Every structure is written in C-alpha cells, then in structure tokens.
Structure 1
Amino acid sequence: MELRNQTDVSEFLLMRLTEDSELETTFFKLFLSMYLVTVLGNLLIILAVISDSHLHTPMYFFLSNLSFTDICLSTTMIPKILVNIQAQNPSITYRGCITQICFVLTFVCWGNFLLLVMAYDRYVAICHPLRYTVIMNPRLCFQLILLSLFISIADALLHSLMALRLSFCTDLGIPLFFCEVVQVIKLACSDTLINNILIYFAASVFAGIPLLGIVFSYIQIVSSILKMPSSGRKYKAFSTSGSHLSVVSLFYGTAFGVYISSAVIDSSRKTAVASLMYTVVTPMMNPFIYSLRNRDMKGALRKLIGRVLSFL
C-alpha cells in the first residue's frame, strides 16, 4: 500500500447507513428525532434541577452534569451523521475526524467518571446518612466535577495528539458512523505500538477503576439496605439508587456489548450499529429513566412544564 503522511490526508470515509436512497430519508428523520429528544430531555433535566430548590442537592447536581455530557456527546456525533445523510457523502475531514475523536473521548470518559461520583454519592447517603451533608459538601462536589473533567480532557488530548503523529495508507475507510480512535489507528501504516499501549492502559484505568468503584459502592449499599429494619426505608433507599443503577447498567451493558459483538460477530455493519447504542441511545434514554423512576424529578418537571406553558 502507498504510505501517506498525516499532513497529506484530507479526509476519511465513514460507513454509510444504507445504500438505499429511500431508506436514507427514513434514517435522517430517525436520527433527527433521536437528537431532538436527547437534547430536549436532558435540557429539561438541567432546567428542572436549576429551577427547583428541592433538587439543589449533590445527587441532582451530578445528574445535571451527566445530562450536559449527554447533550454534548450527541451533538459531537449526530449532526455530522445528519449532514452526511443529507449530502449523501460519508466523508469527514482529517481535522474533523481528530476533533471528533477528542470530543467523543472527553464526554464518554467524563460521563464514566460522573457515574462513579454518583455511585459514591449514593454510598455516602445510604451507608453514612448522618455524615452525608458534611462529606458531600459543595466544595467537594465541585472538586469532583472539575477533577473528572480535567482527567477526561487530558486523556482525550493525549490520544488525539498521538493520532496526529500517525501516517496513513490509501485505505481510509472507517467501519463506523463516527470517528473512533481505535478504528483510526487500525488504518495507520506507521508504528502504532505506543498508541495501542496507551489505549489499553487508559481503558484499564479510566474504565476499569470507575466500574470497580461502582460495583464496590453498590455492594456496600445493598448490604446497608438489607440491614435496615423498616421496609419503608428500604424502599426509599432502593428507589433513590434504582435510577442510577439503571443508567449504569445501560451504559456499561451496551458498551461491553459492542466490544463482545465485535469479537464474535464477523460483520462491521452490525458492530457499527451496536456502537450507536451507548453513544446515541443511552444519552437519549437517561432522562426517561430518571424522570420516570424519581418522584422528586417528576414533580420538578411538572412545575417547569407548567411554568413554560403558562408563559406561552
């Protein structure tokens, strides 16, 4: 294959959703609807938390940040998919691809850390209720958000800058609907050993440690709940943790499903579709999970919608 330096690469080719022009219109409407639902749903969560003083607690503060990351992640990916469908051109510029890699990594990693922080919040609330306000003070909450954001940006910049040093061959087709760092590295003709080591190391640390932390937190939470003498307290504790546990299961379940399917299914299209589950579907479902399973959030959303309708 002909070797091409990174500065000579003008664009990559993403996978097309379909070759059928009629189905492209259907997919355009589908992705547009999903994007609007994602943005509107998560925006309502953020506004509800801001407008209702009863929701000015660490749990809902972290939830509003998670909703913000979901909006940003969807905005990083779906508009480009819509543009490519409309133009019937699956290409993305070299700079656009590297930029998309950076933003996708940032928001996926940040969302991952937010799930860990939210699990820690539930652990303190249920296992150490008398010390909750002391431990989860506003200063610590802001520090946890800023620290998780800083680590996520640093990780994303590191992988993006390492991708800039690669040289690529003439085959520049990415078997996904968006630019993903692992798939871009596979297209390189230059040595990718350092890139692969960094990816496996980052995945082990920035995905493995949060997952272990979440599992440990919920082991402690379940143990504390089972020791509660009152069935009412048990139900309340399970209900406040149920929404977060559902989001965690959806995020990690779909993410692991993608990599398992890519290993056992010899179909790049099926893997590409599976990758949309945790990058597109999960951000869309999160607002429904929290609003349907949380009484305080449902009340805040009713008040917010009522104010908006009265204003109109």
Structure 2
Amino acid sequence: MLYDFQEELVIRPLHSGDVYASFQFRTLWETDFTRENKVSHYRLFPKSLGQVISKFSVRELHISFTQGYWRTMQWGQPFLPSPPGAELWVWFQDSVTDVDGTWKELTNVLSGIFCASLNFIDSTNTVQPSASFKPLGVGNVTDHRFLRYATLPREIVCTENLTPWKKLLPCGSKAGLAVLLKSEKLFHSSFHSQAVHIRPVCEDEQCKTTSWELRQTLNVVFDLHTSGQGKREWSLFKMFSRTLTESCPLASSSKIYIDITDNPQKCLFKCLPHTSS
C-alpha cells in the first residue's frame, strides 16, 4: 500500500440530551520525508504538511484548536481530550541540533498554514515535558530534549481556522463526510475541537515497513431540544444543516457509526433511512 484515505463519523447520543459527533479522516502514505531526495508527488498527502515534516525534521506533530469546555460529568469521556484554545506538541528527529530555533521557525510556518496566532508561541509559554506526552508512533524515541509543548488558551477558534483544516483533506469539503462541516453550525455548538495528528506507523504486524499517518479529527457537541412527544430525535440535517450528497472518490472507506452505549434509560433507537446491507 503506497497511500490510502479513510473517513468515519461516530455519533453518540448522550444521556444529557446532547449529541456528540466525532469525525476522523485518516491518510496513510508509505514514503520517507527524511531522505535527501525531495518528494515531488504528494498524492493524497497535503503538500504543505509534507514539506513541514521534511524541512523541520518532525517525528510527530499534534495540534488542536478547541472552543468551549468539555463537561465530563454530563458527557462522559471524549475520544480525544483537548484544552481550550490552541495546543501544539512536537517530537523532532534526533538529528536536529537546535531544537529551540527549529521549534520557533516551525510555529511561524504552522501559524500561516492554519491561520492562527501560533507565532506568539515563545520561550515564555513553551515547556519541555519530561514525564508526559510520550511518542504515539513507532520509533519509541524518548529523549525529551527533542520534545516541545505549548498552549495558547486565549486563542479564539473561528472559520479562519476551519477553512485551511478542511483544505488538507483529499476531497476538501466538496464530497464525503466533510460536506457536513458547516462553520455556522459548528461554531454555535456547545463544544467544538479540530485537530491534526501526524506520526509514523507500522504497515504490518512485523513493522517491516512504516508509513506516515495524518489523522484529522473534529469533535462537536450539539445541544438539541427534545421533541414535544418526549422522543430524542436528531438528524444530520438538524445538526449540520446539510445532508450527505456524494462520496469522496479518493476514500477507500467511508463509514458512519451510531454509538448507543451512553443510554441509561435503555431507549430504543431507530435509524432512517435503513442501511443497504
């Protein structure tokens, strides 16, 4: 497998009456950004992020933009926790000699890619964790001299951040599950968080070959009023003001899951229209 793209949406009705929607878009690419020969054809992988990995010798990159606070007592545990504002943590290759200088240059470039204020990250709000933020990909590099972490809790998340995030997808927001991502609905929700995670992963169980994984996630909680009949009714249109129109032709898999585990009243759910299988 040289490259692959998969997308999925998990919808979880919460016992609080809210609805939690979690999108995940996963792009895999079997290539080596660290080699001397520059990559010229990026295929499904965003060129801007591929160049970031290569230029700044990035081993892993994790960035999130979050609006609102996650209410654990009402909503349970999120799939991916994230603090309000902007969060960024990066593992660099052990070949980097000036980690602080590379970190500063990287934040300036990411600021332009995501239209965010990441250029305000400096030595006053950057830390070098020694016991947390372990690598999530293969390689198991644990020398924390090559790790940097920063947050901007006052960063305001808006449409200017969502638009470049959607442009990183192979089909953008023109097809597939991403057509549901309408900024007017997302930013008027109870909670909204979008993230980008890049790491090296194994191709097989023996890990003879590795690929780069780009995982774009978007999590949102909608406060939907129950109907007058006491039924918890919701729909894609009610949540996103859009419905699915056409699939992304570049996706090898596109799935929607309904998670009903958070259902203390044992309510019965009926999904319409019925699945074809």
* TM-score (norm: length of structure 1): 0.22
**Structure with greater strand share of residues:** 2
Larger C-alpha radius of gyration, 1 or 2?
1
**Structure with greater helix share of residues:** 1
